[in-house]
């Protein structure tokens, strides 16, 4: 394993690999990518770590990719700020003893339950520096939103899983942490009933910061200022007064949503784990097909995200979706592509990007297409 200590050293390593057509597996904390080939050269970003700059007043953070997410969250908490898109720690379901890093979060566009309110990781990414598959050092974006002009390469890099370049620096927008929070739990609901509740709640002005379903219970998270949360809670309880409703306090809410985000309900299992992005209105029909396969599932993003753990091939899972994407997060013995093959137009655009940034296809080869 190679562990360059600087951007220049990383550039030289990749340029050499490009000239020799040597495949490289990009390794951060080792908590997001399975199945590296033993023939790959493994490159770690662990030594590319540390905070470059943090301006709480500007709500801007510049950090290197190998920095542990936990360190960033602790630093932001001291200023009553946070990464609002709340990235998940999936070590409980993926195994391993690595440490999640911010580079892995950005590379995977990892976004938690609050995405339906504040957007995904890529929506908080203001700028990037990275080394592409030729060894070129590239920079895009700025330190504040008003300076982000031209082609936004950050949006391209975010979610590319290291197939276009290796991040060396990311600029993220931070936001104030919620002052108050609570959760309304509505037990005894089917998926279709839960989606109806989500649709009604999300159509209100009450800033729902989480809408998830697990084991027959729908959860609505409310966040805001100290006086806002009780008011919003009262209004929502009045909307659903014909249903049983339990209130969960702030401490319980934080524990609950951490558990939902990190998929504790699938910890200790070994079956394939799938992440399905769908239209919320399709969730009821899709979960009905998944139930026929014999696995378990939960919902997030108001029904737009389904987690499925259980038997079934990629062909079966993708056939269950009228539209959307199915991504294999944990193989558990499953074969076939981890990512849904893109339609022809998207495939051509992706191929053009790869030819531009990694023409020799040495960076995480095959990860997103096999």
- Cα(177)–Cα(141) distance, integer angstroms: 25
Strands (E), 208-300: 208-214, 217-224, 246-248, 273-277, 296-300
Name the token pair of 253. 């809410």
At residue 279, the 3 state secondary structure works out as coil
Is 45 in contact with 28 (CB distance < 8 Å)?
yes
**pLDDT per position as a tens digit, 142-201:** 665 445 555 688 999 999 999 999 999 999 999 999 999 999 999 999 999 999 999 999
pLDDT for 293: 95
Q: What share of the chain in percent tops pLDDT 70?
A: 95
Confidence of residue 38 (pLDDT cuts 50, 70, 90): low
138 bridge partner residues: 130
Per residue in 334-367, pLDDT (tens digit) is 888 899 988 899 999 999 999 999 999 999 998 8
On the question of pLDDT at 71 being above 90, the answer is yes
Q: For residue 296, name the pLDDT band (cuts at 50, 70, 90).
A: very high
Residue with the bigger pLDDT between 264 and 97: it is: 264
Identify the weakest region by mean pLDDT among 17-31, 56-70, 242-256: 17-31
| Domains identified in the chain and CATH numbers | 7-176 (3.30.465.10), 180-261 (3.30.70.2190), 264-330 (3.30.70)
Nearest CA among 367, 327, 336, 334 for reference residue 350 = 367
State residue 359's pLDDT score: 96
Evaluate if residue 7 carries a pLDDT over 90. yes
Q: Is 141 left (phi over 0), alpha (psi -120 to 50) or beta?
A: left
Res 274: pLDDT: 96
Judged against a pLDDT cut of 80, whether residue 15 lies above it is answered with yes
Q: pLDDT tens digit string along 273-292?
A: 999 999 999 999 999 999 99
Cβ neighbours for 129, distance < 8 A, ≥ 6 positions apart? 7, 137, 138, 139, 167, 168, 169, 170
Residue with tokens 């409310």: 222
Mean pLDDT over each residue of the chain, to the nearest integer: 93
pLDDT at 370 over 80: no
Question: pLDDT of 85-95, one tens digit each?
Answer: 999 999 999 88
pLDDT digit string, tens, across residues 196-212:
999 999 999 999 999 99
């Amino acid at each position: 394993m190679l562990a360059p200590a600087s951007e220049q050293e990383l550039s030289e390593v990749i340029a050499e690999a490009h000239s020799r057509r040597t495949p490289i597996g990009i390794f951060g904390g080792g908590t997001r990518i399975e199945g590296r080939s033993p023939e790959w050269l493994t490159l770690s970003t662990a030594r590319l770590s540390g905070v470059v700059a943090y301006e709480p007043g500007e709500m801007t953070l510049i950090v290197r990719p190998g920095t542990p997410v936990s360190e960033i969250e602790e630093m932001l908490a001291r200023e009553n700020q946070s990464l609002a898109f709340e990235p998940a720690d999936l070590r409980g379901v993926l195994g391993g003893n690595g440490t999640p890093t911010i580079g892995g979060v950005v590379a995977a566009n990892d976004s938690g339950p609050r995405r339906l309110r504040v957007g995904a990781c890529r929506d908080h990414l203001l700028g990037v520096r990275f080394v592409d598959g030729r060894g070129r050092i590239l920079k895009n974006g700025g330190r504040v939103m008003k300076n982000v002009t031209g082609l936004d390469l950050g949006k391209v890099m975010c979610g590319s899983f290291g197939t276009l370049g290796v991040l060396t620096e990311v600029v993220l927008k931070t936001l104030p942490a919620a002052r108050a929070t609570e959760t309304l739990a509505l037990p005894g609901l089917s998926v279709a009933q839960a989606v109806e509740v989500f649709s009604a709640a999300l159509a209100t002005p009450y800033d729902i910061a989480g809408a998830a379903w697990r084991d027959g219970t729908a959860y609505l998270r409310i966040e805001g200022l100290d006086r806002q949360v009780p008011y919003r809670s009262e209004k929502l309880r009045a909307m659903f007064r014909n249903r049983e409703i339990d209130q969960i306090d702030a401490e319980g809410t934080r524990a609950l949503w951490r558990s939902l985000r990190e998929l504790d309900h699938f910890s200790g299992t070994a079956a394939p784990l799938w992440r399905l992005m769908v239209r919320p209105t399709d969730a009821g029909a899709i979960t009905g097909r998944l139930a026929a396969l014999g696995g378990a599932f939960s919902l997030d993003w108001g029904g737009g995200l389904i987690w499925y753990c259980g038997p079934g091939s990629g062909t079966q899972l993708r056939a269950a979706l009228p539209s959307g994407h199915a991504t294999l997060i944990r193989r558990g013995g499953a074969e076939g592509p981890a990512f849904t093959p893109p339609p022809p137009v998207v495939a051509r655009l992706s191929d053009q990007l790869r030819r531009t940034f990694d023409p020799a296809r040495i960076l995480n080869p095959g990860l997103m297409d096999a």
